[in-house]
């Protein structure tokens, strides 16, 4: 997920590192150090490891108790084995007689073995003589071949020395030549390639200007909205310019933190969760009414089925309104999902008034004490004025607490543009992005909330009814900055 954005961010870090190190080399302001070079993604993993260590420390008392109980069990087993061992010493008289008989049998066996061993010794002596003769022959052969091998080894040594000299000349100034692969540890660190500056360097605007321009172009190619790409680059520039750099690892860390902070500001749009709103309405004795809008083909009806299933499992009782009365098969489709998850559906005949269906669903929920009403509407293009007016009528009649735009993450900038138009026409309150699990670019996920200033509420992450998750900005950051990456790909030039 979001592999494209990950690579763009890591390349920005690498390019800035190269820029500063090349400049320092020209200024004779560079010296190599021993140590490990951090990859861009290793900083995210280190934070996760610190969290895991904290979690483990919270479990220490229980773990100690379990260890103590295991020690007690082990001691009991040892005592049992000891008692069994000493029990063998207390033999009965019958057992003593058996022992005497076994001793006599052992003496007979010993005599037999002595006889056969004498015969065997003679044959062994003959075999030894033959083996000695064979060893002499082999030694002569090996001596002959060894002399020839020594000559070839000397020639190979001379060739290898020449090759090493050539390789040394070829090596890159920061030991990251393309002819050699760096050894990468499990932490995402690489041996070698650590440099420090004799005189501390300061990141200036000229260092980041070209690099951030390239980042902006790459973000636009990844379906990130123009205003979002610009905001990210401006934020990174503000964070980096003026930073004092002592080691090459500092460059990677500062770039990582600057990008993470920029993205964090973009994706973290404040807003209440749907679950919180259901609880608030429940306290008032009212159902939460949610209206879903969007164009055809984005997975709107399937998303309604997923949400009905999601809140049914949380202990709430949803009801679905089949207010898409125009599209052929729409009522049958939403009925199919309602039956599969086991929730009530309110529907009228095809071609009936969609606002009336929504109104009946709300009244049913109030009468039956149900906590959630999910209103399906006809998919329409944002440019169709008549259909948009029909949608406004449904909103006036049903008076929903939430209007949610359902967009396809794979459409990138199109999803952002659609959300903007729907927001202008009907004032949406939140977004659900479908097919987020298949989105390698991540442009819509990064842009849509920031552009319309509305929170992403859920992400569709598969085709099953359980494949939906509440959106979490921290989780999104982890997807972009903390997941493991192909280290060889990240660290190579």
d(CA 117, CA 83): 41
Report the SS3 class of residue 253. helix
> For tokens 């990844």, what's the residue?
222
Q: Which residues of the chain form CATH 3.40.50.300? A: 274-479
d(CA 390, CA 381): 12
Residues 6+ apart with CB under 8 A from 67: none
Domain 3-41+184-267 has CATH 1.20.120.140: yes
Query: How many H helices and E strands in the chain?
Result: 16, 13
d(CA 49, CA 27): 38
Q: Which residues of the chain form CATH 1.20.120.140? A: 3-41+184-267
pLDDT at position 360 is 96
Element (H, E) at 288: strand 288-293
Mean pLDDT of residues grouped by 10 in the chain (493 residues)? 75 85 80 67 55 48 46 51 45 48 56 49 51 56 52 54 48 41 44 65 89 91 90 94 85 89 90 93 96 90 96 96 89 95 94 93 96 90 70 92 94 88 91 87 85 94 93 86 48 33
pLDDT at position 28 is 80
> Following DSSP, what letter does each residue of 15-83 receive, concatenated?
HHHHHHHHHHHHTT-EEEE-SEEEPTTHHHHHHHHHHHHHHHHHTHHHHHHHHHHHHHHHHHHHHHHHH
Could you tell me the two tokens for 123? 């044959």
Q: Are strands 318-322 and 288-293 parallel, antiparallel or unpaired?
A: unpaired
Domain 274-479 has CATH 3.30.200.20: no
The answer, as to whether pTM is greater than 0.75, is no
């Amino acid at each position: 997920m979001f592999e494209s954005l990950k690579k763009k961010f890591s390349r920005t870090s690498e390019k800035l590192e190269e820029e500063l190190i090349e400049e320092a080399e020209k200024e004779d302001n560079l010296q190599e150090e021993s140590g490990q070079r951090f990859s861009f993604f290793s900083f995210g993993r280190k934070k996760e490891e610190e969290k895991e260590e904290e979690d483990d420390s919270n479990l220490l008392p229980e773990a100690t108790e379990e260890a103590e109980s295991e020690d007690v069990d082990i001691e009991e087993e040892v005592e049992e084995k000891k008692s069994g061992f000493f029990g063998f010493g207390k033999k009965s008289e019958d057992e003593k007689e058996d022992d005497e008989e076994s001793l006599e049998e052992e003496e007979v066996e010993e005599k037999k073995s002595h006889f056969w061993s004498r015969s065997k010794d003679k044959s062994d002596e003959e075999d030894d003589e033959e083996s000695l003769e064979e060893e002499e022959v082999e030694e002569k052969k090996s001596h002959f071949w060894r002399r020839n091998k020594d000559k070839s080894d000397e020639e190979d040594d001379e060739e290898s020395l020449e090759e090493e000299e050539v390789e040394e000349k070829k090596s890159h100034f920061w030991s990251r030549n393309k002819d050699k692969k760096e050894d990468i540890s499990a932490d995402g660190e690489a041996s070698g390639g650590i440099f420090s500056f004799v005189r501390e360097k300061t990141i200036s605007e000229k260092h980041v200007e070209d690099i951030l321009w390239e980042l902006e172009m790459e973000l636009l190619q990844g379906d990130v909205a123009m205003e979002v790409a610009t905001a990210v680059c401006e934020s990174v520039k503000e964070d980096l310019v003026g930073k004092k750099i002592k080691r090459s690892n500092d460059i990677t860390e500062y770039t990582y933190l600057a990008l993470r902070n920029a993205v964090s500001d973009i994706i973290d749009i404040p807003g209440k969760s749907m679950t919180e709103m259901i609880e608030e309405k429940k306290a008032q004795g009212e159902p939460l009414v949610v209206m879903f809008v969007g164009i055809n083909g984005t997975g709107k009806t399937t998303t309604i089925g997923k949400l009905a299933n999601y809140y049914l499992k949380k202990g709430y009782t949803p009801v679905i309104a089949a207010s898409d009365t125009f599209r052929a098969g729409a009522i049958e489709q939403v009925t199919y999902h309602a039956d599969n998850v086991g929730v009530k559906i309110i529907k009228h005949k095809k071609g009936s008034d969609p606002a009336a269906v929504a109104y009946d669903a709300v009244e049913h929920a109030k009468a039956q004490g149900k906590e959630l009403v999910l209103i399906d509407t006809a998919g329409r293009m944002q440019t169709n004025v008549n259909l948009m007016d029909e949608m406004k009528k449904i909103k006036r009649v049903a008076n929903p607490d939430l209007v949610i735009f359902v967009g396809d993450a794979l459409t990138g900038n199109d999803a952002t543009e659609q959300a903007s138009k729907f927001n202008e026409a009907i004032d949406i309150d939140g977004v659900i992005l479908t097919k987020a699990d298949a989105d390698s670019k991540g442009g819509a996920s990064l842009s849509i909330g920031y552009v319309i200033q509305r929170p992403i509420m859920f992400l569709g992450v598969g085709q099953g009814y359980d494949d939906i998750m509440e959106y979490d900005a921290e989780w999104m950051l982890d997807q972009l900055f903390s997941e493991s990456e192909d280290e060889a790909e990240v660290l190579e030039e």
